[in-house]
Structure 1
Amino acid sequence: MAPRSTSRPDLCAVLFLFVLGHQTLAQIVNLEVKDGNSTCIKAELSAQIAVVYSVTNGTRTASMPLPASTTVGSDSSCGGSSGTPWLMASFGDGHSLSLGFSSNGSLYRVENITVVYNLSDTSNFPASSSKDRVTVMTAHTGILARMNTTYKCESNSTVILSGGGVNVSFSNMRIEAYMLGSEFSVNETVCTADQTATTTSVPKTSAVTTPPTPTVPGTPEQGKYNVTNSNGSVCLLAYMGLQLNITLSSSQNKTVQEIINLQPNLTKSTGLCEVNSSTLFLTSDRTNLTFFFSLNVTKYHLSGISVRAILPDMKDPFATSNVSLDYLRGTLGRSYMCNAEQTLLVDKSFSLNTFHVQVQPFRVNGGQFENAEDCHLDEDNMLIPIIVGAALAGLVLIVLIAYLIGRKRSHAGYQTI
């Protein structure tokens, strides 16, 4: 396999990918993996792959929907005792979309998604500066179902693959692995997005349960996270307390609210550092949280957040992302600091509360933070005592002047005529 291209797009390009990924996908393809006469994987879905690739004077975006001519690739497999089920959808000039499955006996999931694209295909990648065959993948998909049920999701859902330069958008999806027969099961596991859509269309005459007020777990502990380069040097530093605030409908007339403190001692930090973009992955048993930072000449900011969380009241993991954010703005060569609590709104179902934040996503020297730039909230908190102090000083001055004037008039009454 040819080596992967080392250049990665900035987050402006990823935002364009995210918009592309939410367009309506009209073409539905049918795929089936067999072992002899037995079917083990069946899929009916629309999918569109968006790729940012390099050209001589910058980057471009290729958008590749799965065509009607898509076939089941030769690497597809039912797994058996020595492997896991694998569905490869092959199309075009050397392109493929693959889904790898796993099961714990009661549930099955799409464990990873792999995309292979051929940059020498000039019809999809005109003027590409590389002719490599590139492979990218992600280990977090949010596609999870009970055994012997069909996973169904008509809503659009977008999965951002590792590195941020590729995404896959699915819609009108029905898929089942570890099948007992050759047809989809009549029992279905419906995705969270479809459940939410159903809940919002409940007639006005239906009784709606008021969501219980979630128990707030208190201020989260400040975690100390970092990302290292291939040479072992620290390239990103982040000290912060994090609190996930999730609100969504789990089934008709029921709303789930979860406030989760990220526990630093149970959280692993990894990531990627590039010239104009940095990524921080925070992984624990229940949550996967990703931060995307972008650099524009001398200014950087948090431009994207992606989250996947396992909630006790939900049969499917909660997942959402937004790569058009503008938080935690700082200057290259300095760190950003904010001790005040901030709420970073990602979308209507998810926000992130941050406490005691100090981050430096670019140009870290010696594994230490550079001088910090304080956030406006901290500046406002400092301004209040200054104003109060100035007001008190002004009041003392007024009283003193009034006293001196009064005393002078009093002395004037005893002057000799």
Structure 2
Amino acid sequence: MARYSQKHTLIAGVAVFALLGCLSPVLAVTLEVKDGNDTCIKAELLANLSVLYSVGNGTRMALMNLPDSAEVGKGSTCGSSSVAPMLVATFGNGHSLSLNFTKNMTLYRVDTLTVAYNLNDSTFFPDSKSTDTESVSTNLTGIQAQLNTTYRCFSASPVAMPKVNVTFTEMRMEAYMQSANLSKEETICTADASATTPAPKTTPATTTAAPTTSPGTPVQGNYNVTGSNGTCLLAKMGLQLNLTYTSTAQGKLVQEILNVQPGLVRASGSCGSTVATLSLTDELHFNLNFTFNLNSTTKKYHLGSISFDANMTDVTAPFHVVNNSLNYLRGTLGKSYMCSAEQTLLVNGNFTVNTFRLQVQPFGVNNNQFGAAEECQLDEDNMLIPIIVGAALAGLVLIVLIAYLIGRKRSHAGYQTI
């Protein structure tokens, strides 16, 4: 019986170890660009990519991530007087993620983010109409930091490009490094600075933004647009605005976080066959516009543009932001897009919109009611985690039960009838 107990304890232990391994957190990928033995760029980050590509009967969305096997690839350089520093992360079958850096007297930033993806890779792009390698770029990343500090952003930082979205998390990165290790002093992104948990101690500088206290979760508002044929756009959501601007009174960059108050906002807009606009106006403070586009061939819509104007007295110039190349809130004609989780819509480096408990339908509204909801990936992931944990626990119980039954069968086989 002693051997039986030890054997089954070992099996159960292995099963528990396997379960814990399945639940271990994903570690950030570390990438380092060197000039000889000197490190000039170092990045620790996670990156998730969504790529819209064409198939025979329309389009599909491919989901990719930057794997542990990613390497510093050709084109990476510490730069020179005529060449900017660049980190090129290569992964999979011909895919890459490139960050090009620039600096001034006090700050460095990601000047250009480029994603190249090989449509001939059937693992990620099955049934693709093209076998080419395509590339998209943007200079609206919002990633900048003080020289000789580490840029830190553990929160999700989405960057939108035509057909491609990149979301960075767990990011610690520095360019123009003075040593082989990341600087202890950090420039913290807006999302981390406004989190409720205390952030690591940093050394503030007069050129960096001073974050304000988060106002908490915004109230969900109902915003509808009515056309000649009745209600043509439905939206309900909580909205939070994140602004970075130069304060004339303080003489430096400041950050302001505002919750949109539904009772103080007037909703208006327009609806066309392929373009729908929702305008939210606070007469004393701001005007915020969302423009949705519909592809009449694929019957898919998305949020393609956000513009924002604010009446602010403490600014050196009028605060105006617009981005017409977004690709957020993607849905199907006649259905609504829903996302209960918080989403960050990056407009540019100085302005982002956070949405909470969002449901929107800009086309195909019938009887003033939302169509069937298509849930966002964030909500699906939140539901998937308890399912995975439950399945893993059920598998563990099954392994232990089978081991127990095998052990009983072997123990009875040792006795013979006389």
* Alignment TM-score, normalising by the size of structure 1: 0.51
Distance of aligned partners of 1:263 and 1:30 in 2 relative to their CA distance in 1, 3 Å threshold:
closer
Give the corresponding residue for 1:261. Answer: 286
> What is the rounded CA distance, in whole Å, between the counterparts of 2:99 and 2:64 in structure 1?
17
Structure 1 residue 29: Cα displacement? 1.9
Q: Say if 1:27 and 1:66, in contact at 8 Å, map to a contact too.
A: no
> What is the rounded CA distance, in whole Å, between the counterparts of 1:124 and 1:213 in structure 2?
38
- Of structures 1 and 2, the larger Rg is shown by 1
Partner residue of 1:194 out of 178, 192, 195: 192
Q: Say if 1:142 and 1:319, in contact at 8 Å, map to a contact too.
A: no
> What is the rounded CA distance, in whole Å, between the counterparts of 2:305 and 2:46 in structure 1?
30
Give the corresponding residue for 1:306. Answer: 345
> What is the rounded CA distance, in whole Å, between the counterparts of 1:102 and 1:260 in structure 2?
34
Distance of aligned partners of 1:34 and 1:242 in 2 relative to their CA distance in 1, 3 Å threshold:
farther
Distance of aligned partners of 1:106 and 1:283 in 2 relative to their CA distance in 1, 3 Å threshold:
farther
> What is the rounded CA distance, in whole Å, between the counterparts of 1:31 and 1:45 in structure 2?
9
- 1:49 lines up with 2:49 in the alignment: yes
Distance of aligned partners of 1:55 and 1:27 in 2 relative to their CA distance in 1, 3 Å threshold:
farther
Q: Say if 1:224 and 1:239, in contact at 8 Å, map to a contact too.
A: yes
Q: Which moved more, 1:138-147 or 1:60-69?
A: 60-69
> What is the rounded CA distance, in whole Å, between the counterparts of 2:123 and 2:107 in structure 1?
40
- After TM superposition, the runs of 4+ consecutive aligned structure 1 residues lying more than 6 A away are 208-216, 219-227, 269-273, 298-305
Give the corresponding residue for 2:81. Answer: 81
Letter in 2 for 1:194: D
SS at match of 2:81: helix
Q: Which moved more, 1:91-100 or 1:178-187?
A: 178-187
Distance of aligned partners of 1:126 and 1:263 in 2 relative to their CA distance in 1, 3 Å threshold:
closer
SS at match of 1:161: strand
Distance of aligned partners of 1:286 and 1:25 in 2 relative to their CA distance in 1, 3 Å threshold:
farther
Q: CA RMSD in A?
A: 4.9
> What is the rounded CA distance, in whole Å, between the counterparts of 1:107 and 1:300 in structure 2?
42
> What is the rounded CA distance, in whole Å, between the counterparts of 1:172 and 1:220 in structure 2?
35
How many residue pairs get aligned? The number is: 276
Letter in 2 for 1:130: S
Give the corresponding residue for 2:239. Answer: none
Distance of aligned partners of 1:272 and 1:62 in 2 relative to their CA distance in 1, 3 Å threshold:
same
Structure 1 residue 301: Cα displacement? 8.9
Distance of aligned partners of 1:325 and 1:128 in 2 relative to their CA distance in 1, 3 Å threshold:
same
Same amino acid, percent of matched pairs? 38
SS at match of 1:93: coil
Distance of aligned partners of 1:301 and 1:199 in 2 relative to their CA distance in 1, 3 Å threshold:
closer
Letter in 2 for 1:306: L
Partner residue of 1:282 out of 302, 307, 313: 307
* Alignment TM-score, normalising by the size of structure 2: 0.51
1:103-142 superposed Cα distances (whole Å, 9 cap, x missing partner):
2321222223211111111222233232121112333222
> What is the rounded CA distance, in whole Å, between the counterparts of 1:329 and 1:272 in structure 2?
9
SS at match of 1:183: coil
> What is the rounded CA distance, in whole Å, between the counterparts of 2:270 and 2:103 in structure 1?
32
Structure 1 residue 71: Cα displacement? 1.3
TM alignment of 1:100-249, pairs within 5 A: 100-155=100-155, 157-163=156-162, 165-199=163-197, 236=275, 240=279, 242=281
Structure 1 residue 90: Cα displacement? 0.6
Letter in 1 for 2:150: T
Distance of aligned partners of 1:241 and 1:49 in 2 relative to their CA distance in 1, 3 Å threshold:
closer
SS at match of 1:193: helix
Structure 1 residue 274: Cα displacement? 3.7
Structure 2: gaps spanning 5 or more residues: 1-23, 200-211, 216-255, 310-318, 366-418
Give the corresponding residue for 2:31. Answer: 31
Distance of aligned partners of 1:117 and 1:241 in 2 relative to their CA distance in 1, 3 Å threshold:
same
> What is the rounded CA distance, in whole Å, between the counterparts of 2:40 and 2:356 in structure 1?
36
Q: Say if 1:69 and 1:91, in contact at 8 Å, map to a contact too.
A: yes
Q: Say if 1:225 and 1:238, in contact at 8 Å, map to a contact too.
A: yes
Structure 1 residue 324: Cα displacement? 8.3
SS at match of 1:180: coil
1:294-321 superposed Cα distances (whole Å, 9 cap, x missing partner):
67557899999834477xxxxxx55345
- 1:319 lines up with 2:356 in the alignment: no
Q: Say if 2:100 and 2:110, in contact at 8 Å, map to a contact too.
A: yes
